[in-house]
Amino acid sequence: MRTVRQEANIARERLVQGLALAVLLLMGLYCVAGPSGLLAWGENQHLLEERRAKLVDLQAERDRLKNRVALLNPQNMDPDLAGELVRSHLNVARPDEMVMQLP
Question: Which of 101 and 41 is assigned the larger pLDDT?
Answer: 41
Instruction: Note the pLDDT of residue 4.
Output: 67
Q: What is the pTM of this model?
A: 0.54
63-87 per-position pLDDT tens digit: 999 998 888 888 888 888 888 888 8
Instruction: Note the pLDDT of residue 2.
Output: 62
Handedness of CA 31, 34, 38, 44 (dihedral sign): negative
For residue 13, pLDDT over 80 is answered with yes
Give the SS3 label for residue 92.
coil
For residue 46, pLDDT over 90 is answered with yes
